[in-house]
Amino acid sequence: MDFQKEIKIYFSARYPLIAVVSREEGRIVEDIRLACEQTQRQLLTWDLADFFKSHTKGLSAPKDIKDPLSALEKIEQLEGKAVIVLPDFHQCWHLTPKVIRKLRNLAQSLKSSEKNIVVTMPTSQIPEELKDDMVIVDFVLPHVEELDAILKQITQTNKSVDLTFTGRQKLLQAALGLSSNQALRIFSKVLSSNGIIDFRAIDMVNAEKKQIIRESGALEFFAPSELFNDVGGLEVLKEWLRTRELAFGKEAQDYGLPSPKGILLMGIPGTGKSLTAKTIAGLWRLPLIRLDVGALFGGLVGQSEENTRHALKLAETVSPCILWIDEIEKGLSTGGGDGGTSLRVFGSILSWMQEKTKPVFVVATANNISLLPPELLRKGRIDEIFFLDLPTFKERKEIFEVHLRKRKRFVTDYNLEKLAKVSEGYVGAEIEQSVIDAMFIAFSDKKDPSREFRTDDIVEALTKMVPLSRSQSDAIDELRRWLDEGRVKSASFGGKQQAQAHFVKINLSKN
């Protein structure tokens, strides 16, 4: 619901205490001022620095009221329809117990009046004593229309902008997730740096936005850069993703399709789960945001839950986007040693995954799915669970091709058939490392320091390596049992029988 519409409903319903959660104090006061004009209410503000101020023509503000308790007493004495905004008043709650007690008393007396107290603050944590009397309202970050108004404010003349309609929309889409002040600063910086706002502004906005999102603590922003050609194999997973590539567009909405919710990629370490998450963003041309679950946990009571709520709301603001939760089992494996904090954080993420309406596609990766509770794995929260196993012969050839091209070598100079055969039982990360090790072997050759690395160098590197399929065979067999029981879907094989045949071949090669 639009904030002005929502706040007017609270005013007319005589909600005495309203907490608005946001750092955008200026926008909040302006929207409340407009709501007061439309409902013929007086508007006053009081804070610890400047005390009472009037925002209504012809209304004088009370003088020399410097402490919060006296300010609350004065509010009680005001006559008529009025809204009193108290910026950062959460700092006053614990100055003295009398402040909270007075707020509770006011909550009762204001119900029979037409006065409302609005507290603006950056956190949703309120004292336990006020939870029954105070309603909490989230003030969302600017939408595209509001960002466009800020852009128009910065660029007073047409000569300041050189963007097509589509280019302008892409710039505004890139700016989603910024506060109005942040957007104003970044647009001004672009104009000062380039003298004009053109296609270069999108990259500059993404660079600034990346830093701002990182400063949020638990989120890291990635611009889409990886391509599906950077991942070898996984044809079933790739096809699944291709069929949903257009699912976030208007045509899909008009067709009646819901936005995809997300996937869980489980399997052996080094099989490309994290890389796949990055390539989805590239395929769908959506921003990728990585959620560091460990960074959500804070030392203060309620801080972890607040961090979680803020991070998920920020992800929704920049939607449509990909939210990548890497090694989710490490961050959300629950235990009893933290007073239930991890359970509450996990519950908040589960509820959000179930109820979210914004197009945020979750890509969670896990190496040990047994550590995850069953609530995460059921349909409705994620669309599919894919198992990434040891690569097949064909996939190993593709992986070698990817990493040879990545290092600007001609694939035809190498015997891919031999490499794929020798590397049976190796994961993609081990194959990549064998190419790197081969480069070191050739580079350090004292007889011919300038020679190129060859197929035999890669084979030598592979033989010196102990693959995970041997060192962690028991853990890998446990993971495969999920696929064998039909609880997950193979990312590489179209059917269960094909997957089982591959497992038998791998097990025979190990023995």
Q: CA dihedral defined by 323, 215, 168, 357, rounded to 10 degrees?
A: 30
Q: In which band, very low, low, confident or very high, does the pLDDT at 338 lie, cut at 50, 70 and 90?
A: low
What is the pLDDT at residue 417? 94
Note whether 362 and 399 are within 8 A (CB). no
Q: Is pLDDT at 482 greater than 50 in this prediction? A: yes
In sequence order, the 6+-apart residues with CB closer than 8 A to the CB of 459 are: 418, 419, 422
Q: Please name each of the domains of the chain with its CATH number.
A: 3-138 (3.40.50.300), 144-215 (no CATH), 228-388 (3.40.50.300), 393-469 (1.10.8.60)
Is 0.75 topped by the overall pTM? no
Task: Strands of 139-287 (E only): list them.
Answer: 219-222, 262-267
What is the pLDDT at residue 397? 92
What is the pLDDT at residue 333? 57
Give long-range contacts, CB 8 A cutoff, 24+ apart: 465-470.
465/426, 465/430, 465/433, 465/434, 465/437, 467/425, 467/426, 467/427, 467/430, 468/268, 468/269, 468/270, 468/427, 468/430, 469/268, 469/390, 469/425, 469/426, 469/427, 469/506, 469/510, 470/425, 470/510
Exposure string for 245-265, b = 16+ CB within 10 A, e = fewer: eebbeeebeeeeeebbbbbbb
What is the pLDDT at residue 78? 87
- Please state, for a pLDDT cut of 70, what percent of the chain lies above it: 91
Arithmetic mean of pLDDT, 238-242: 88
| Closest alpha carbon to 332 in 377, 299, 275 | 377
Rg (CA), the chain: 29
Note whether 222 and 281 are within 8 A (CB). yes
What is the pLDDT at residue 497? 46
Mean pLDDT value across the chain:
83
Q: In which band, very low, low, confident or very high, does the pLDDT at 495 lie, cut at 50, 70 and 90?
A: very low
What is the pLDDT at residue 117? 93
